[in-house]
Amino acid sequence: NTPASGSSHAKIILIGEHSVVYHQPAIALPLPAVRESVTLTLRSDNVQQLISRYYTGARHDGPQQLQGINQLVDELLVRFNAADAGFDLTINSHLPAERGMGSSAATAVAIIRALYRFFDQPLSHEQLLVDANISEKIIHGNPSGIDVATASAENPIWFMAGTQPVSIPFHLHGYLVIADSGIHGQTGKAVRAVAQLRETDPFLADQAIKGLGRLAYTAKSALANDRLADLGKVFDQSQVFLQRLGVSHVRLDEMIGIAKQNGALGAKLTGGGMGGCMICLAANEATATQIRLALAKSGVAQTWLQPLKSEEH
Ligand code: MEV
């Protein structure tokens, strides 16, 4: 009956959002510094309470957005013969919600780890991915699985839907600046918009999706061979394809312009788009700082700095 916790972290897609849904490869990076943790504490009554920044109260009385989490918790409780247990589920998150940083996947991963730990059950990585898909399917409609794979990964991953994610060789030096537009992105809506474009303009959609797939291979080689400028070009070119797919946002385009004017080697949206975050590359810390200051001055909600370091260092 001792409380049990599980944790996870944010993710950043370097290349391949949206095209990954159509079985093109993608590369994503775990952000261990931006963490989320979940603690399950047993109660003496039979109330199942959720305690979080966005909602506190009986978990089934919460807003519509909790439907995915509730379904996940329901299924796990049945599996562990504890459907009637009373508990507090406390979510402590440093991830902004709906900004392309994988907050729903991070929550799912942390909840699953906490529940398996609480009920003292072994949890394989494969099972974790399968379970997290329960809530992701409800929240995003047609998830590729990349968010969950990265929220539970220690290293940058090469991801193709339906296959096991693999760690990729990473020999790059540089800085990644992440900036939150403050506008709520809607992954489900963006994924549906791309699906619709594939119906109305299959040629355009297919060209963009395949183009993003090719760029993932270029990015993989740039990461393996310390070619920062090439990765920057991949960012710029993938942003053009993402714009054609209709998932950017005027504010993101503006932020990308500011980053480029301040020395970024390349910039793009990250995650579902239609709001959310932008990422860009800087060759050194001074340039990264200049970009962050310029973005802050233009009113972005928050920025993060992630040094990209070779894995042997
Ligand atoms: C969302 O982080 C990434 C998307 O490609 C959706 C998915 O892969 O499930 C937009």
The one-character DSSP state at 3 is -
Residue 281: its pLDDT value, please?
A: 98
- Domain housing 211: 169-308
Q: How would residue 310 be classed by pLDDT, with cut points 50, 70 and 90? A: low
Q: pLDDT tens digits for 64-92?
A: 989 999 999 999 999 999 999 999 999 99
Does residue 313 fall inside a structural domain? Answer: no
Ligand 1 pocket member 147 (CB < 6 A): yes
Residue 75: its pLDDT value, please?
A: 98
Q: Are 220 and 26 in contact (CB under 8 A)?
A: no
Which of 105, 131, 159 terminates a domain? The answer is: 159
- 147 and 174 part of one domain: no
Residue 1: its pLDDT value, please?
A: 80
Ligand 1 pocket member 99 (CB < 6 A): no
> Which of 302, 119, 72, 284 minimizes the C-alpha distance to 292?
302
Sign of the alpha-carbon dihedral angle for 242, 172, 110, 94: negative
Q: pLDDT tens digits for 89-126?
A: 999 999 988 899 999 999 999 999 999 999 999 999 99
The CATH code of the domain that includes 297 is 3.30.70.890
Pocket test residue of 21, 148, 247 for ligand 1, highest count of atoms within 8 A of CB = 21
Nearest C-alpha to atom 8 of ligand 1 is from which residue? 144
The CATH code of the domain that includes 28 is 3.30.230.10
Ligand 1 pocket member 18 (CB < 6 A): yes
- 195 and 253 part of one domain: yes
174 φ/ψ angles, rounded to the nearest 5 degrees = 170, -170
Average per-residue pLDDT for the chain:
95
* Better-predicted residue by pLDDT, 313 or 49: 49
pTM of the complete model: 0.95
pLDDT at 22 exceeding the cut of 50? yes
d(CA 28, CA 14): 5
Residue 313: its pLDDT value, please?
A: 39
> Which of 278, 282, 289 minimizes the C-alpha distance to 243?
278
Q: How far is the CA of 167 from the centre of ligand 1 (A)?
A: 19
Ligand 1 pocket member 144 (CB < 6 A): yes
Ligand 1 pocket member 269 (CB < 6 A): no
Q: How many domains does the chain have?
A: 2
d(CA 102, CA 85): 29
Pocket test residue of 144, 194, 270 for ligand 1, highest count of atoms within 8 A of CB = 144
Does residue 258 fall inside a structural domain? Answer: yes
Nearest C-alpha to atom 9 of ligand 1 is from which residue? 143
The one-character DSSP state at 17 is T
- 181 and 148 part of one domain: no
Ligand 1 pocket member 143 (CB < 6 A): yes
- 221 and 261 part of one domain: yes
Residue 177: its pLDDT value, please?
A: 98
- 174 and 148 part of one domain: no
- 11 and 152 part of one domain: yes
- 237 and 210 part of one domain: yes
Which of 107, 132, 159 terminates a domain? The answer is: 159
Ligand 1 pocket member 17 (CB < 6 A): yes
Residue 169: its pLDDT value, please?
A: 87
- 130 and 85 part of one domain: yes
In which order are the strands placed within the sheet that holds 302-308? 266-270, 277-282, 174-180, 302-308
Q: pLDDT tens digits for 236-288?
A: 999 999 999 999 999 999 999 999 999 999 999 999 999 999 999 999 999 99
CA dihedral 108, 187, 71, 57 (to 10 degrees): 80
- 46 and 85 part of one domain: yes
pLDDT at 40 exceeding the cut of 60? yes
Ligand 1 pocket member 295 (CB < 6 A): no
Which of 159, 182, 215 terminates a domain? The answer is: 159
Mean pLDDT calculated for residue range 220-242: 97
Q: How far is the CA of 180 from the centre of ligand 1 (A)?
A: 17
User: Who contacts 174 (Cβ-Cβ below 8 Å, separation ≥6)?
Assistant: 228, 231, 265, 281, 282, 283, 284, 307, 308
Ligand 1 pocket member 9 (CB < 6 A): no
Does residue 164 fall inside a structural domain? Answer: no
Does residue 110 fall inside a structural domain? Answer: yes
pLDDT at 149 exceeding the cut of 50? yes
pLDDT at 312 exceeding the cut of 60? no
- 255 and 112 part of one domain: no
- 287 and 178 part of one domain: yes
Matching residue, tokens 């040094």: 307
> Which of 188, 237, 233 minimizes the C-alpha distance to 211?
237
Complex-level ipTM? 0.98
Q: pLDDT tens digits for 151-171?
A: 999 999 999 998 989 999 889
> Which of 167, 155, 285, 171 minimizes the C-alpha distance to 226?
171
Residue 311: its pLDDT value, please?
A: 61
- 195 and 126 part of one domain: no
